[in-house]
Structures are given as structure tokens and as C-alpha cells.
Amino acid sequence: MIFTVAIDGPAAAGKGTISRAVAAHFGFAHLDTGLLYRAVGTKGGDPVAAALGLTPDDLARPDLRTAEAGQAASRVAAIPEVRAALVAFQRRFARADGGAVLDGRDIGTVICPEAEVKLYVTASDAVRAHRRWLELRGSGISEAEVLAQLVERDRRDTAREAAPLKPAADALLLDTTELTIDAAVNKAIAAINERIGQGRA
């Protein structure tokens, strides 16, 4: 079965957690597309060459979840040649047999506009900053600094000319500001089950 679930949204909204849970529930393959850009950003040197030469080992680096890697990812993601180098990989992954869940910032709008299900996961700035700060505790960064970084990243991601961050016109909006993880995952699963049911009708 070829079935693509595209999950987009800003940082720390919960899209990664929801994507992993959804993939596990349905037995679909999962790709955190942000890791592609984080890996390119942290490799250093020419970002286009880094994107073209990306390997699975690059995606397994332990430092890809740091705040610095996130900022680097946002910077290189604004380079059209980098995006072009990674688009084909993502599209092949999305349409492989067995079903796939991809989470990122332009999956439903650019990478997989034909996705069977599109979700846009969001939350308030304050809640997202608090979640990310909890992940980064021990690193010495303050919650106010995390909030400032998220706001700046949102500004850069939504203002860029190449594939700006925005919900697809037909995406289901999932606001996790006041939802538990389980409640958010259940809403996503329900939307996917509905679409699978329509496909079998």
C-alpha cells in the first residue's frame, strides 16, 4: 500500500512525537525530514555539497537535536540548491510501498502535495518554548532564550522565498497547546483512519 501522511508545523509543536506514534501505530516508515537539514547544517563546509553527499550515518549523529543544529538547519533550508538536493530523497521515501509518515515544514505544501493525509501541528509560542526548554535543560540556556530562538526561527521559516512554512490548504489543523500527547496522537490516528476508510469504500 502506498499511503503518505504529511505532518508539518513549527518547532516544538509536537509533530515529531505525533509522527513517531502514528508511524508505530500503523506500521508505516517514518522520516523526520528536519534531520536532513540539521545534518547538512552541522556538517559544515559547502551546504550544497553536504546535501548531495548526505549518508545514513549523517542522520544518526548525536548532536542533531541541539538548539545549534536547529538554527543551522533553518539557515541551510533557505538555500534553494540544498532543498533541491533533498527533495527527491524525501519523495521517494514518501511513496515507497508500505506507507510513510514524514514530518517537517513543507511536506504537505511542497514535498508531498498529493499526500493522502496532511496535518499541521501547532501550539502557542510560550508552550512550544517551554517544551523545548525542558528538552534542553542542563545546557545552560534560559527559557527566554529558547523563546527568542523559536520566534526568530519561525520568522525565518515563514518569510523565506523557497517553500515557506505554512499549512497546506487541505491540512487538518491540530493545535496541541492544551492537548496531552495521547489526545493529540488519537486525533491524528482518527484522521488517518477516516481517510483509509474512504479509500477502501
Cell of 128: 512550544
| Cell 498529493 -> residue | 114
Q: Is 16 annotated as a binding residue?
A: yes
23-to-58, 113, 172 alpha-carbon distances in Å: 22, 19, 17
Q: Is 29 annotated as a binding residue?
A: no
User: How many CB atoms sit inside 10 A of residue 44's CB?
Assistant: 9
Q: Is 98 annotated as a binding residue?
A: no
Q: Is 100 annotated as a binding residue?
A: no
Q: Is 169 annotated as a binding residue?
A: no
Q: Is 12 annotated as a binding residue?
A: yes
Q: Report d(CA 21, CA 15) in Å as an integer.
A: 10
Strand order in the sheet with 117-122: 29-32, 100-104, 4-8, 117-122, 172-175
Q: Is 44 annotated as a binding residue?
A: no
Residues of the binding site for ATP: 9-17
Residues of the binding site: 9-17
